[in-house]
């Protein structure tokens, strides 16, 4: 059994590693290079070879590199002959490779605005560096979460009831303030239990001087407990103490005195 458990864990870990290894950074970056080339119209400029060279850097395992470069040029909006594709491949082999996100962005001239518009994730930008992009990403995430909380009716911590304590300004207790505000919403007070642990007997807190259902339920439970304690401490022999001897013997399934005399 232990061996089977170890094998199953090995299969799960292998499957997870395989899923992680399925991600191909080079393939994603090739698509982003083509997307940026289409956006800026690189095929109609004299620097079209820069996007093709960057594309070749991220396609090292192609079986037919010339055909692959010609197809990539077509997707970028241009057209190459086999001789031109061969020249691009040779130039890419002697040109210093720019593989990091910001270096590649500098090589292609990708700005932060273009990066955001085209949703480029593997290419950096020339005007906003990696650390600044990380801080901006955190800020956007924080603002999105804050907007989601506001849409759900949540208030910031500085405006929470614990911070403002409006009952103090009105000169009343917190419980009274909650009860009056609950009356406006159709209930008579706060609940007795937390929201995630509500029981079937919980009801809003009653007005001053009243007795709620939960309190009456607790008193009834106390009476039942007292009755159980009283009956549990009564000896079994005392139940038949007031009965005649014959009935007591019959209740205990014992022979009566007449039967005892006959047996003697």
- pLDDT tens profile 9-50: 555 555 565 555 667 889 999 999 999 999 999 999 999 999
pLDDT of residue 114: 94
User: How far is it, in rounded angstroms, from Cα 60 to Cα 99?
Assistant: 13
pLDDT of residue 249: 72
pLDDT of residue 241: 62
pLDDT of residue 200: 47
pLDDT of residue 66: 93
> CA angle at residue 158 from 156 to 163, to 5 degrees?
120
The structure tokens 């491949």 sit at 89
Query: Which pTM value belongs to this model?
Result: 0.53
Which residues of the chain fall below pLDDT 70? 1-22, 157-159, 183-243, 251-252, 254-264
Calculate helix-pair angle for 48-57, 25-40, nearest 10 degrees: 170
User: How far is it, in rounded angstroms, from Cα 53 to Cα 88?
Assistant: 6
Sequence-ordered list of residues with C-beta below 8 angstroms from that of 81, at least 6 positions apart, any chain: 70
pLDDT of residue 138: 92
User: How far is it, in rounded angstroms, from Cα 236 to Cα 231?
Assistant: 10
pLDDT of residue 188: 46
pLDDT of residue 193: 42
């Amino acid at each position: 059994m232990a061996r089977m458990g170890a094998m199953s864990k090995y299969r799960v870990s292998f499957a997870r590693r395989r899923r992680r290894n399925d991600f191909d950074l080079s393939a994603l970056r090739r698509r982003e290079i083509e997307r940026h080339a289409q956006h800026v119209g690189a095929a109609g400029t004299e620097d079209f070879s820069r996007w093709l060279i960057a594309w070749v850097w991220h396609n090292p395992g192609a079986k037919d590199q010339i055909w692959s470069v010609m197809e990539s040029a077509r997707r970028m909006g241009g057209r190459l002959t086999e001789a031109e594709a061969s020249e691009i491949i040779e130039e890419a082999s002697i040109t210093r490779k720019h593989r990091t996100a910001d270096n590649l962005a500098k090589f292609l001239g990708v700005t932060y605005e273009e990066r955001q518009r085209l949703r480029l994730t593997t290419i950096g930008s020339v005007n906003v560096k990696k650390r600044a992009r990380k801080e901006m990403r955190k800020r956007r995430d924080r603002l999105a979460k804050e907007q989601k909380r506001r849409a759900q009716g949540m208030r910031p911590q500085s405006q929470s009831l614990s911070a403002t304590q409006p009952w103090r300004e009105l000169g009343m207790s917190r419980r009274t303030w909650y009860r009056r505000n609950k009356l406006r919403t159709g209930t008579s007070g706060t609940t007795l239990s937390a929201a995630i642990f509500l029981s079937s007997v919980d009801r809003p807190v009653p007005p001053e001087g009243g007795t709620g259902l939960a309190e009456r339920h607790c008193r009834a439970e106390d009476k039942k407990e007292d009755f159980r304690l009283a009956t549990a401490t009564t000896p079994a022999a005392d139940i038949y103490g007031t009965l005649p001897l014959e009935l007591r013997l019959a209740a205990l399934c014992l022979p009566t005195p007449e039967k005892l005399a006959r047996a003697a």
